[in-house]
Structure 1
């Protein structure tokens, strides 16, 4: 997912209109719409302001929707090349994980909408 798509998705998940978002960022509606369409190269300072508006860090905006399932761990000096996948236990009941779970729920909802939309397009193309 590209940054402008993440911005649009996060705005929609907050229930904000483009007009509201533009107002929060002190931009024109057209200027903000250009950002969401990916038609504008956005400076880091503007991206920081957008992330702040969503109540997240800039890195969280960049990483939104990305997943790291596992990572390789091992000693680079290991002559046997015995690398392994390291598991970490995750306490999903923890309140600190709730924002991540909510992001995942919102992402799933968006994917379901996109699938329905694509099915509709396929149906229309068949007729």
Structure 2
């Protein structure tokens, strides 16, 4: 990586991929999260294999909290649906 390229990253003039962050962290012998550590905590999740099939997710605590609440609501709805289906199955079994 050129010094100009690295300087652009430091100044926020360019976006950096997760792979590039991993390389920078390795050079400085730090964890990737330490490179992002400012006043907010960040979470990085890279999902996929070692090829081109991957997705990167970045988020601050507030955004992740909102996403977690949505997921909790979906899980609660799923649990309610399972209970309703169990009741239907029970009624059908008792009918026979």
Place the TM-score, normalised by the shorter chain, in its bin: 0.3 to 0.5
Q: Structure 2-normalised TM-score?
A: 0.40
Judging by fraction of residues, say which structure has more strand: 2
Q: Structure 1-normalised TM-score?
A: 0.31
Q: Could you say which structure has the larger radius of gyration?
A: 2
Higher relative CO (Cα under 8 Å, sequence separation at least 6) belongs to: 1
